[in-house]
Amino acid sequence: MGARLLVIGSTNVDLFTTVPRHPSPGETLLGTGGQRAAGGKGANQALAAALQGADVTFVGAVGDDADAELALAGMRAAGVDLDAVLTVPDAPTGLAIITVSEAGENTIVVIAGANAHVGIEAATTAIAGMDEGDVLLMQGEVPRETIEAAARAARDAGRGVILNVAPWMALDHDVLTSADPLVLNEHEAHLAVEELGLTPASDSPEAVAEAIAGAGTPSVVVTLGAEGAVLVRDGDTHQVASPRVSAVDTTGAGDAFTGALAARLLEGQDLATAVTHAVRVGAYSVQHSGAQSSYPGIGDELP
């Protein structure tokens, strides 16, 4: 058997509404939509990686409710191993309320629900079952103590760790530096600089990524939306441009990028090549509505 990707993360049901523009504080707007679909950063990235050919195992939690099957349906259909998903009887399945403007930009409010019960024991048990060459992928929508314990356990076992701190949380320095790569968007990268007490040479994404890498992280990837991504490894900085596309919905595009990146790194591709592919997957996803429903498979033509 080949290498496996172990994803420890969140799984939600996404509730979508579309508005002409995002409302101002205190303002009421009429929206359309109301569709519900599978989501959550962990589940999104697990699915995106599986659709790009990775052998994926997912560790997460859902409630004992009607939303649980909907939340897991996309991963199940893609062949993700869900044996380690916990059902929590006294918490609802996570919920994300997503508002999309006509310009394709979104705002998201996440209610953790059962995701708050993704615990250290489940995470470290799964890591103990990892083989040589397997890689751990995590995000920021499960408890901090679980992320930190899992990252340390994987590092100590000699397993690769990909960490996407989204949404941002102030993880311990040794956890951030265990990531190879550490994946952040521009906002999260600036928060990382503040947390680590760094002074980049400028506010540019390149300088910010270089400062984070200089603090001991083996490799750093900063995503730039329509501008692509910047990566730093071994003192070398590269910018990868994104194909120009017309965005319909940016929901889950960062997860499409990170899942595709993990899949290619699991295959043994170098970071620059993997980032180039992941940027194209992200560009594909923004041309389609929704999160998981927008992710391409291996046979889909990328921009």
Domain-located, residue 285: yes
Whether 255 is catalytic is yes
pTM (two decimals): 0.93
Structure tokens at 28: 């009421």
Domain-located, residue 75: yes
Domain-located, residue 27: no
CA dist., res. 200 & res. 104, Å (int): 31
Contact 302, 257 (CB under 8 A): no
List the CATH number of the domain containing 270: 3.40.1190.20
Q: What is the pLDDT of residues 69-119, one digit of tens each?
A: 999 999 999 999 999 999 999 999 999 898 989 887 888 888 999 999 999
The total of structural domains in the chain comes to 1
Domain-located, residue 198: yes
Catalytic residue among 55, 255, 270, 300: 255
- Residue-number span of the structural domain to which 121 is assigned: 4-10+41-91+114-294
CA 71 to chain centroid, in Å, comes to 16
Domain-located, residue 225: yes
Domain-located, residue 62: yes
Structure tokens at 101: 């403007």
**Strand extents, DSSP E, 2-90:** 4-8, 12-19, 32-39, 55-59, 61-63, 86-88
Opening angle at CA 136, ends 119 and 78, nearest 5:
90
Q: What is the pLDDT of residues 235-263, one digit of tens each?
A: 999 999 999 998 888 888 999 999 999 99
Query: Per-residue pLDDT for 145 more than 70?
Result: yes
